[in-house]
Structure 1
Amino acid sequence: MSQSCAPSLRERQKAETWRALHHAAVASVLERGLERSTIESITDRAGVSQRTFFNYFPSKEDAVLGLRAPVLDPALLEGFSFAQDVLGQVSRLLLAVAGSSHEGVDQVRRRELTRQYPHLIHRLIERMNEAENLVRGALAGLLADNPEWAAGMGESGVDDVARVTVMTAAIPLRFTVASGTYSPAAGLAPEDLGPALALFHSVQRKLL
């Protein structure tokens, strides 16, 4: 990594504080249970103030799951083309944006926690919805610059076309996660979506 790309001291300290809070939240839940784990118990364990906690997480549930607000790096849109496999491009874009909300988190432990406390899944769904909204907004912008792709779709505007495209592109991702070959420890790589995308295209041709 070049010196210009290396994280600053402030960025490293923020990352360390984030990890300390996340690990403290998980340790607290494993020791005391989710209901008895409080933000105070988490911050005491991490050695930071409750005010600091809310600079990193909006709730103890997000701290336990290790969730961040998803982000869409503009670099991910470079090279996007409506001339080839739009579904695959949007599926992989959605995977990248959704993954930004839990980068570096122990997926096996997180799955174990959601099994033990099923209502935590609702927070995961909310973060996934946020990721989908980010991708939808970006795709709507790309469509606005390429109106010919959405031509012939009736009165639907670019927002509607983007919304249905993103919803459709999420199907191969969810199918892959639900498959028996998915490993939470390994996570998903863009190439892992290949079989699901191929199957989707085959089914789509039959349906149409």
Structure 2
Amino acid sequence: MSQLLSLRDRKRTETWAALHNAAARLTLENGPDRVTTEAISAQANVSARTFFNYFSTKEDAILGLQDPSIDDTWLEAFDVDANLLDQVSRLLVHVVHSTEGGADGDSLRMEVVQRFPQLRQRRFGYFLKVEQLVRDVVTEGITASAKWADVAQHHRAEDISRMIVLIAGAPMRYAMQESAHAPTLDNQFAALSTANALLREVLPEIQ
């Protein structure tokens, strides 16, 4: 049974990658406005109906985007009573990567976005989903935390978590810009350590 599931997972991954690669390459050849889901499906050797089992729109296929998710190991390790700046900023980076469907399509994705910057708006929509997912995790932790009880008496847990995620998002974006030449998870985490240290130095000076 596990071998069957593994085979299905591998087949699904291969089909997802084929659709993304076809969509990205057709976009680079013809521009996004001239690309259709039918052409993408034909290039990937799947039916047009199958396309929508993997992507909601052609833009998602072009950029290789999928709904954000968080690994159970990250959820188990998350501690709202510990250093939230480091934890939340790293969690944001992790969840952003979950929307991009693996590293194989990174070079195509980068080339498409550089040539057709109008597609960044679609990526931004997915980043909002990332923020919401991380906010939900932080909110749940704050609601159950004795450490945050006093603050939670004056502010809603949802508002507290929104502020935390926005603050942690600043070094996350800084790190992604610094590692844009090679946007691997390791490079981004390395840049994130520097960004968080810089934020800690800057914050006292702007209060």
2: distance between equivalents of 1:78 and 1:90? 14
1: distance between equivalents of 2:182 and 2:171? 17
Could you tell me which runs of 5 or more consecutive residues in structure 1 were left unpaired when the two chains were aligned: none
Aligned to 1:48: 46
Aligned to 2:156: 157
Q: Given residue 159 of structure 1, which amino acid in structure 2 is its aligned partner?
A: E
Indicate whether 1:90 and 2:94 are aligned. no
Indicate whether 1:65 and 2:57 are aligned. no
2: distance between equivalents of 1:109 and 1:27? 8
Deviation at 1:100, TM superposition (A): 0.4
Q: Given residue 99 of structure 1, which amino acid in structure 2 is its aligned partner?
A: H
Contact 2:81 2:145 in 1 (8 A): no
2: distance between equivalents of 1:134 and 1:126? 13
Where is the helix percentage greater, Structure 1 or Structure 2?
A: 2
1:122-141 → structure 2 map (5 Å cutoff): 122-141=121-140
RMSD: 2.2
TM-score, normalised to structure 2, is 0.90
Secondary structure of the equivalent of 1:71? coil
The worse-fitting range, judged by mean Cα deviation, of 98-107 and 114-123 is 98-107
Aligned to 1:192: 191
The worse-fitting range, judged by mean Cα deviation, of 64-73 and 98-107 is 98-107
The share of aligned pairs that are identical, in percent, is 36
From 75, 78, 98, give the equivalent of 1:77.
75
Cα distance per residue 1:5-60 (max 9 Å; x no partner): 99611111111110111111112112222111111111111111111000100111
**Structure 1 runs, 4 residues or longer, greater than 4 Å off:** 3-7
From 25, 30, 38, give the equivalent of 1:32.
30
Q: Given residue 147 of structure 2, which amino acid in structure 1 is its aligned partner?
A: E
TM-score, normalised to structure 1, is 0.89
Q: How many residues align?
A: 205
Contact 1:21 1:42 in 2 (8 A): yes
